[in-house]
Structure 1
Amino acid sequence: MSASHKLGLFKGFGVEMEYMIVDRDTLQVKPISDEVLKAEAGELTSDVERGSMAWSNELVLHVLELKTNGPAPELASLAQQFHQEVVRVNALLEPFNAMLLPTGAHPFMDPFTETKLWPHEASEIYEAYNRIFNCQGHGWSNLQSTHLNLPFGSDEEFGRLHAAIRLVLPLIPALSAASPVLDGRVSGLLDTRLEVYRTNQQKIPLIAGQVVPEAVFSQADYDAQIFQPMFRAIAPYDPEEELQDEFLNSRGAIARFSRGAIEIRIIDNQECPLADIAIVILVTEVLKELVSETWSRYEDQQKVETDLLASVFRSSLKNGPKTEVQDAAYLKLLGLTQTQATLEEIWGHFWNNVQKSPVFTPEISLSIDVLLEKGTLSERILKVLGESPSLDDIRAVYRNLAVCLAQNKLYEP
């Protein structure tokens, strides 16, 4: 979103989706993202531009990122655009007997034996990460997300957007959890990806903080309270200063002042772009209501304790929509009058309030109805798998999810 420093609130949208490359028959990961990029570009490269869309490499060779090429003017048409890119990538993967696989985590990959890091250009940053953290674990090599970049045009706009995002962030896994299986087992969490994400840099806890970002509402405060302490903490491990940059920040939403945007990073990749974009639009419309003070004043939104938000977030990783919020003041900021509510009820309230917006095409609205009535993708997967599925059971469900991706259809078992 390089041009977005000129864009005001909700005047552009950067979306990125990460997909796994797997063998069509076995679903084992295939570390060939460089081959895909090369097949499209005609030469080895880390980025391919395709008009309004682009592809790029990630830390590991079995993951490919599809994204908008700069900020898109609106979100609804992106479901179709991302799907067209998926179709193109799958065509390029066919000669390798490979295909793209969606969801937040590969269900049975062994990250300690199967991880291959990107070895080509810009690999020195990846090597620095690997040296400090050992990027073999799930928290590095097996966590596929959908990122939403929202622009701000001034420090004032940054503050308002950051305040709104902090309030909504802990609620998002109740819509987007899509990683219930890891290491070939049902993990007991709906969002296993975010649990490993939360803990993968424990050596330097300041890098991710509590995932929900601190209550800071200006660039100067952000620098003083988030960036500088983090850079000081990693400095002993990073003498070349390769990582002391804003990308080091691993909170669930990170300020990218260099491009004038906040990036929300906690949405698990869904079964198809239609589902991802439905979540992204719903989240965006709720943020618009908060920023415009429909339910609560900006001054009050700033006062919410990070500890409270982080506890809701942590609970949501296990319980998803059934997570309970028992803080009346927080609920009041979100426009609810009761003293306690589940995340399911909160999203129902949000949907009732925003669904008349013209951005919700019939297709997007139907997708949101599926999420709110039939549950997160994790819950829909677990309905089929039960608590102790065999590897064959897991393969069968994830094969279906690869078909959902190829056809841009929601998974409704």
Structure 2
Amino acid sequence: MSKRYHLFEVFGIELEYMLINTSTFKVAPLVDQLLTLKNGKLTSDIDNGAIAWSNELVAHVVELKTNGPTTDLESLSEKFHKNILEINQLLKSVDAKLLPTASHPLMNPSNDTELWKHSYSEVYELYNRIFDCKGHGWSNVQSTHINLPFYDDKEFEKLHAAVRVILPLIPGLCASSPILEGNLTGIMDSRLEFYKTNQKEIPEMTGLVIPERVFNKVDYYATIFDPIKRAIKPFDTKNILDHHFLNSRGAIARFDRNTIEIRLVDIQECPKADVAICILIIEVLKALVNKELCTLQAQKKWTKQELFDILNDGIKYGELARVVNFDYLSIFGIKEISTMQDVWQHMYNWVKPKLSSENQKTIEIILTEGSLSSRILKAIGNDTSEAKVKQVYSDLAECLEMNQLFVN
């Protein structure tokens, strides 16, 4: 059992990036080579000081994460950026580089997917047998995960209640996946559109994305984990799958390390944007947990279906999604129909003094210029040719290299 921390005492941030071939722009299933270049031999995890690197389900995605819990969010943008520069330097020798955003705009998952073939591959192969992981929802998804601790049931209740009500608004802040296979999908957060159904074979795993109204460990097991275990049993004949990993809701409770992990954040164009977004979400959650905005009962009453309906609009329309549920808006002290952009602006104004001036600048660009999906679509304009898409996403790769926001 890992050490237990109190609410907002420490944090864990994870960023996923895809490797692409610099010359062809195709995804490059070379994470094993990257880890070998760094380490001299292949290991699935590399400790690189404050940041750790690891492999993922598919061979073209690498995860960078805080190396254990951290109290210091402010310096993370710089630390992640330093690791990105090191990775890009290593990848030069194999004609590859990192590409940001939540989905590769030209990838054909049926042809381009290679699963990780090394450690833990038995689990990945089982997933592939059950779900067929050669789809956008599995092999073309890069996200940012926020891990937040709770000490006991009392703290879990407060944190889970706050997290559930913030989840529907997340795509309205950070959608970054408007293009798949060279086509505008008409959906601002295509990653989450696939997320909803990529485990349809066993619906107990993702549920309605929004977790159920459960506010203690016993109820969580009875309502979420036990049905998952029963549903997976016929497939997992060797008992190799862990219920903590099988739970694929948009926020999952990890009782093995007493954290809630938020999974609905699309990765952005650079760590500066990712970290500022994480800090904004965390500060809003603090305000909710501290009952600055409404009571705990007002947060706990929401059903998963009510919250899912709001989330669904956010997935489709991003920051321009209209929130018309007055009861929901009242959680945040808003009295009129608003777009998600308006709600985030309102919340940003509330917590702004808690953010550094650098993070304030970043959030203000996002709130003014729109989500990364909106900025990508604006840059693409009417020209959806492969050449134009490559040019815009090459600019995004440059933003990652420079740790600067993508503004047209």
- For 1:388 and 1:131, the matched residues in 2 are separated by 39
- For 1:335 and 1:153, the matched residues in 2 are separated by 29
Q: Deviations over 1:283-304 (max 9, x none)?
A: 0000000000001111221111
- For 1:15 and 1:283, the matched residues in 2 are separated by 12
Matching residue within 339, 344, 348 for 1:347: 344
Alpha-carbon RMSD:
1.1
- For 1:125 and 1:200, the matched residues in 2 are separated by 17
Matching residue within 386, 389, 400 for 1:391: 386
Q: How does 1:6-405 map to 2 (within 5 A)?
A: 6-336=4-334, 338-357=335-354, 360-387=355-382, 389-405=384-400
Give the number of aligned pairs: 408
- For 2:405 and 2:265, the matched residues in 1 are separated by 16
SS in 2 for 1:75: coil
- For 1:351 and 1:51, the matched residues in 2 are separated by 32
Deviation at 1:412, TM superposition (A): 0.5
Could you tell me which runs of 5 or more consecutive residues in structure 1 were left unpaired when the two chains were aligned: none
SS in 2 for 1:49: strand
- For 1:388 and 1:318, the matched residues in 2 are separated by 21
- For 2:191 and 2:259, the matched residues in 1 are separated by 24
Contact 1:177/1:267 (<8 A) preserved: yes
Q: What residue in structure 2 maps to residue 407 of structure 1?
A: 402
Moved more, 231-240 or 248-257: 231-240
Q: Deviations over 1:212-263 (max 9, x none)?
A: 1111100111000001011111212222222242110110000011011000
- For 1:200 and 1:387, the matched residues in 2 are separated by 30
Moved more, 87-96 or 295-304: 295-304
- For 2:342 and 2:133, the matched residues in 1 are separated by 38
Q: Deviations over 1:114-172 (max 9, x none)?
A: 11111111111101101111111111111000100001111110110000000000001
SS in 2 for 1:355: helix
Q: Deviations over 1:288-328 (max 9, x none)?
A: 00000001111221111211100010111111111122222
Contact 2:4/2:257 (<8 A) preserved: no
- For 1:305 and 1:328, the matched residues in 2 are separated by 15
Deviation at 1:384, TM superposition (A): 1.4
- For 2:356 and 2:65, the matched residues in 1 are separated by 21
- For 2:337 and 2:397, the matched residues in 1 are separated by 38
- For 1:210 and 1:138, the matched residues in 2 are separated by 19
Deviation at 1:98, TM superposition (A): 0.7
- For 1:244 and 1:353, the matched residues in 2 are separated by 39
Deviation at 1:330, TM superposition (A): 1.4
Q: TM-score, normalised by structure 1?
A: 0.97
- For 2:232 and 2:53, the matched residues in 1 are separated by 30
Deviation at 1:25, TM superposition (A): 2.2
- For 1:386 and 1:181, the matched residues in 2 are separated by 12
Q: TM-score, normalised by structure 2?
A: 0.98
Q: Deviations over 1:314-352 (max 9, x none)?
A: 11111111112222221111222x142221111111011
SS in 2 for 1:236: coil
SS in 2 for 1:21: strand
Q: Which amino acid aligns with 1:322?
A: L
Deviation at 1:386, TM superposition (A): 2.5
